[in-house]
């Protein structure tokens, strides 16, 4: 019954995970190259932050998959190439538009498809909106929580930025393209900090009381 | 000149592309950061450490990095310094609720790598400030400070010696992603490395 997070060893993982703002929320911090099944003993909710070296994750994919197979919750953020190690994940790169918000009339393409999902009681949808790195195609039976329509330049037919998969493995997997740990830990984007302000306490609550909210 | 070496981190990133695709004095090779123990750094003229590098791992290899520097190697390091992987470096300082005046890039000394580049163009990218740097670092006392952040005594870019070698430290997003198409920094850094070799 505990919340664990992988630490990729970058400065922004250090700031986000070991910094004062959130560190009390984590029962266990596991340096990603040291991830083992034993390290996950007692863990019910595991966060894989954005931008962990995918070579490390691929080398430990069995540990991660076994964790989800055991019925636990696995949350995987973006820029991890989860499509190369996590079952059910299909990802397509899309050139990142960092500048969508500079035009005052511009509206972000992000769409909230599951406003009733419990996550959004903790994380207001607007705190999930910034540039994004590619789109996900969820497996059949997964629930898309946030998506974007087809790329206006025709490079993809759209896809999910966040989905929940309870069908591929016995556990629950939340998969996202967003990279809040990088942006929060870099002192650079307030929306990312707001997302973590809502998400991490929610994750802790879910880890400690997995019976509530339908996990 | 020997090639440069950049540590990669397992996924594609525009920053590494900007480094390896630039027309440089010598080529820049990519190797995953975790292969460092098997690499003879003396085969390389310069070591590029991206802001996305696992500094905790690099800190476990600090003796190897220091030995390379002591022998005349050059390290170009980016990001915020969170783990002790470089000799003579200390920590960084965040600026809470920073305003534009806090993160304006100030040129303290001229240097060929940044020659002809207006600090204003480092402070802003498409009118947005902060990409180049948002924190300041404690620099060694004998460091040459090139750029400061907000105030002249808050170091952002600096160069300092480690015995026969040098560290170029940039406390922000990867240095070689700035300068624009006509003033790319990667070739300038390689040129600077080459000229340093000539002096020695």
Examine the pLDDT at A174 and tell me if it is beyond 80. yes
**Among A212, A190, A192, A191, which Cα is nearest to A202's?**
A212
Q: Give yes or no for A54 touching B (CB within 8 A).
A: yes
Planar angle of CA A125, A128, A133, nearest 5 degrees:
140
Q: What is the mean pLDDT of residues B43-57?
A: 98
Q: Residue B80 and residue A186: Cβ atoms within 8 Å? A: yes
E strands in chain B:
4-8, 28-32, 46-49, 74-78, 92-93, 105-107, 124-125, 128-129, 136-137, 144-149, 155-162, 165-170
Block residue for tokens 């300068």: B179
Please name the member of A8, A79, A99 whose beta carbon is closest to the beta carbon of B54.
A8
Worst-scoring range by mean pLDDT, A108-112, A182-186, B44-48? Answer: A108-112
Residues of B in contact with A79 (CB under 8 A): 11
Residues of A in contact with B9 (CB under 8 A): 51, 53
E strands in A2-66:
2-7, 28-31, 43-48
CATH fold of B4-199: Rossmann fold (3.40.50)
CB A110 within 8 A of CB A128: yes
Examine the pLDDT at B43 and tell me if it is beyond 50. yes
Residues of B in contact with A10 (CB under 8 A): 51-55, 79, 82
Residues of A in contact with B135 (CB under 8 A): 187
User: Can you give the pLDDT at residue B200?
Assistant: 42
User: Can you give the pLDDT at residue B22?
Assistant: 86
CA B179 to chain centre: 14
Q: Residue A11 and residue B55: Cβ atoms within 8 Å? A: yes
Examine the pLDDT at A212 and tell me if it is beyond 60. no
The residues near B167 (Cβ < 8 Å, ≥ 6 apart) are: B69, B74, B75, B76, B77, B86, B87, B88, B89, B159, B160, B161
Q: Beta partners for A7?
A: A31
Q: Which of residues 131-170 of B touch A (CB under 8 A)?
A: 134-135
Domain ranges of chain A: 2-214
Top residue of A6, A7, A9 to mutate, by most chain B CBs within 10 Å, is A9
Q: What is the mean pLDDT of residues A73-97?
A: 93
Residues of B in contact with A188 (CB under 8 A): 130, 134
User: Can you give the pLDDT at residue A214?
Assistant: 46
Q: What does each C-alpha distance from B40 to A40, B25, B47, B68, B85 come to in angstroms?
A: 36, 21, 12, 9, 17
Q: Which of residues 175-194 of A touch B (CB under 8 A)?
A: 186-188
Q: What is the mean pLDDT of residues A96-105?
A: 68
**Among B103, B90, B106, which Cα is nearest to B141's?**
B90
The correct answer on CATH 3.40.50.880 for the domain covering A2-214 is: yes
Q: Beta partners for A92?
A: A135
Q: What is the pLDDT of residues B137-181, one digit of tens each?
A: 999 999 999 999 999 999 999 999 999 999 999 999 999 999 888
CB B142 within 8 A of CB B160: yes
> Is the dihedral angle over the CA atoms B47, B69, B166, A9 positive or is it negative?
positive
Q: Residue A14 and residue B57: Cβ atoms within 8 Å? A: no
pLDDT band for A215, please (50, 70, 90 cuts): very low
Please name the member of B11, B80, B126 whose beta carbon is closest to the beta carbon of A54.
B11
The CA distance from A104 to the nearest CA of chain B, in Å, is 14
Residues of A in contact with B132 (CB under 8 A): none
A166 or B198, greater pLDDT? A166
Q: Beta partners for B74?
A: B46, B166
The CA distance from B195 to the nearest CA of chain A, in Å, is 31
């Amino acid at each position: 019954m505990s919340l664990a997070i992988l630490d990729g060893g970058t400065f922004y993982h250090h700031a986000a995970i070991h910094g004062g703002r959130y560190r009390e929320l984590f029962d266990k911090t596991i340096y990603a190259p040291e991830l083992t099944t034993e390290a996950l003993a007692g863990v019910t909710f595991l966060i894989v932050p954005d931008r962990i070296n995918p070579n490390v994750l691929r080398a430990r994919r069995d540990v991660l998959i076994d964790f989800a197979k055991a019925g636990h919750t696995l949350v995987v953020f973006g820029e991890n190439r989860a499509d190369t190690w996590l079952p059910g994940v299909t990802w397509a790169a899309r050139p990142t538009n960092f500048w969508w918000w500079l035009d005052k009339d511009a509206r972000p393409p992000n769409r909230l498809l599951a406003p009733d999902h419990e996550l959004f009681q903790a994380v207001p949808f607007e705190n999930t909106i910034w540039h994004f790195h590619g789109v996900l195609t969820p497996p059949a039976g997964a629930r898309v929580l946030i998506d974007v329509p087809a790329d206006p330049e025709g490079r993809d037919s759209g896809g999910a930025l966040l989905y929940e998969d309870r069908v591929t493995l016995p556990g629950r997997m939340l998969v996202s393209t967003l990279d809040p740990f990088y942006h929060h830990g870099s002192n650079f984007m307030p929306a990312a900090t707001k997302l973590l302000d809502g998400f991490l306490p929610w994750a802790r609550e879910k880890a400690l009381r997995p019976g509530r909210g339908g996990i | 000149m020997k090639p440069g070496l950049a540590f990669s981190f397992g996924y594609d990133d525009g920053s590494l592309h900007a480094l390896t695709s630039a027309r440089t004095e010598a080529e820049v090779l990519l190797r995953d950061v975790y292969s460092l123990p098997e690499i003879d750094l003396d085969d390389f003229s310069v070591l590029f450490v991206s802001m996305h590098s696992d500094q905790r791992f690099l800190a476990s290899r600090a003796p190897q990095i220091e030995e390379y520097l002591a022998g005349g190697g050059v390290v170009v390091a980016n990001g915020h310094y969170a783990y002790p992987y470089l000799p003579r470096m200390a920590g960084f300082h965040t600026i809470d609720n920073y305003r534009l005046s806090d993160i304006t890039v100030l040129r303290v000394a001229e240097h060929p790598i940044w020659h002809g580049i207006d600090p204003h163009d480092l402070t802003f990218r498409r009118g947005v400030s902060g990409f180049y740097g948002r924190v300041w670092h404690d620099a060694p006392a004998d460091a040459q400070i090139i750029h400061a952040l907000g105030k002249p005594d808050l170091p952002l870019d600096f160069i300092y010696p480690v015995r026969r070698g040098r560290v170029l430290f940039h406390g922000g997003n990867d240095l070689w992603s700035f300068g624009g198409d006509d003033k790319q920094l990667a070739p300038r850094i390689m040129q600077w490395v080459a000229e340093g070799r000539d002096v020695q």
